[in-house]
């Protein structure tokens, strides 16, 4: 547990820093790339049954989603809308964690399914 808790912020921080998250670049390309990376990290966390990757990426995603709202519309409420949208997504995933994980693991080939925790 502690190894995951310590290494997840290092992995996520390195990935998002490498991609330039939080540097004020809210172009269409950066939006797509960072959201795809977040989805990939979330899928990896679900496959490995480790929520530390998702929790570590929350701060980056809140800042990034807030920048999107500020850039493309809701000027004064960007931070609140960013926090709210990420919180709703996290709460939904938390409630449905096990059913989502079971469905995702069923789609894996048998060999790959044997490599991830049960």
State the pLDDT at residue 96.
93
Distance CA 32, CA 88 (A): 20
Q: How many CA atoms lie within 13 A of 103 on its CB side?
A: 6
| Lowest-pLDDT range of 40-54, 66-80, 94-108 | 66-80
This prediction's pTM: 0.77
pLDDT tens string 76-102: 666 777 778 888 888 898 899 999 999
List, in order, residues 6 or more apart from 24 with CB less than 8 Å away: 67
* Contact status, residue 65 vs residue 89, Cβ threshold 8 Å: no
- Rounded to an integer, the average pLDDT of 39-64 is 84
């Amino acid at each position: 547990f502690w190894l995951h808790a310590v290494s997840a912020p290092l992995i996520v921080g390195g990935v998002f820093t490498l991609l330039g998250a939080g540097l004020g670049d809210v172009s269409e390309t950066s939006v797509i790339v960072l959201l795809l990376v977040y989805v990939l990290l979330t899928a990896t966390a679900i496959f490995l049954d480790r929520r530390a990757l998702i929790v570590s990426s929350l701060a980056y995603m809140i800042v990034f989603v807030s920048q999107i709202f500020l850039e493309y519309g809701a000027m004064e409420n960007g931070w609140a809308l960013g926090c709210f949208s990420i919180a709703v997504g996290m709460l939904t995933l938390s409630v449905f964690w096990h059913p989502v994980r079971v469905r995702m693991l069923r789609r894996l080939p048998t060999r790959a399914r044997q490599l991830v925790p049960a």
